Amino acid sequence: MSKLIKPEGYKALLDMWQTEQGIKLIKDFFQQNLATELRLRRVTAPLFVLTGLGINDDLNGVERPVSFPIKDLHDARAEVVHSLAKWKRLTLADYGVEPGYGVYTDMNAIRADEELDNLHSLYVDQWDWEAVVSKEERTIGFLENVVRRIYAAILRTEYLTCETYPMIKPFLPREIHFVHSQDLLEMYPELEPKQREDAICKQLGAVFIEGIGGKLSDGKKHDGRAPDYDDWSTVGENGKKGLNGDILVWYPVLNRAIELSSMGIRVDKEALLRQLKTEGKEDRKALYFHQKLLNGELPLSIGGGIGQSRLCMIMLHKAHIGEIQASIWPEEMRKECRRSGMPLI
């Protein structure tokens, strides 16, 4: 059976009807705050894209997309998106979005290779967003400013949730801290990457870990990133590689760190070529998306995804993401969750 954390003495603070109302409250409020904070306009997004265009995100490069033939296109294959990282950048160009503005959308995906546990589901729902930036804004300082603004929207959402449901008490710290993945390795050389995340989040409460995707001094990556969206190889003004990262918070209900967002400044032409070469993926240069970028037809951008169910989960103090979203779970997990006070939808 997949991994399952069963918090001792756990009891859901809201019943299932209150939970459904809380989910709507949080989703409506947060997306409006995010859009206002980052000047984002809502757009409609695809559930699937054609295979072979280089538009779908291949995540760590090993996850298999759910695919199917299209009868009316002579059985050309489409695949359910893993994320919209590259599609959003094409959309910025198609809509002629000006610098300082961007787009956001509801991203729904199926990740059939996901290992199911308290935080991971076959069904993925995110707010995917992307904004146009100038060449001068491709800096760590600009990235950190955007992270602070996103975190401020998260804090406002927590305040509203706790005001609406007084039985829920706030736990998020007022500030988010920044640490590079290389510094994290040097702080905890004896720990594995996920253990380092737990250690730093338990200490600081909310952290943005920078520079995820490239190899560190031990020859290993903190975590995998595809070579063709986040820029994890450009050296920033801090002297370290990477203009991207993850927002994580310490979640006392599960006594562990939870990633809420993966985001970053996207590759420019130079970073794309460098990262494709590093990862041995230079054959991708011939794909539709990559050609558009290499030919200067796409704007410079920053973007990311923010987990909808995960945000609702921590705001409502739930112990399992299946208490927030409807998905498929092993029957034994459903039984164990029921016995442990975690009723799955």
> CB under 8 Å to 39, separation ≥6 — which residues?
100, 101, 102, 131
Task: Spell out where the chain has E strands.
Answer: 40-42, 48-50, 67-70, 76-80, 102-110, 123-132, 177-180, 206-210, 244-251, 256-265, 301-307
SS3 content of the chain, % helix, strand, coil (to 5): 35, 20, 40
Cα 103 from Cα 111, distance rounded (Å)? 24
Cα 98 from Cα 72, distance rounded (Å)? 36
128, 210, 246, 323: which one is catalytic?
A: 246
> Is 284 labeled as catalytic in the residue annotation?
no
Residue from 311, 313, 331 nearest 322 by CA: 313
111, 196, 266, 310: which one is catalytic?
A: 111
57, 58, 158, 323: which one is catalytic?
A: 57
Cβ atoms of residues 324 and 318 within 8 Å: yes
Helix ranges restricted to H, 188-307: 193-204, 269-278, 288-294
> Is 246 labeled as catalytic in the residue annotation?
yes
Residue 16 identity: M
83, 126, 308, 325: which one is catalytic?
A: 126
262, 301, 308, 325: which one is catalytic?
A: 262
C-alpha to C-alpha distances, 301 to 214, 217, 327, nearest whole angstrom: 20, 28, 33
**Residue 141 three-state SS:** helix
> Is 126 labeled as catalytic in the residue annotation?
yes
> Is 128 labeled as catalytic in the residue annotation?
no
- Residue found by looking up tokens 């730093």 in the block: 200
106, 183, 223, 259: which one is catalytic?
A: 259
Residues annotated as catalytic are 57, 111, 126, 246, 259, 262
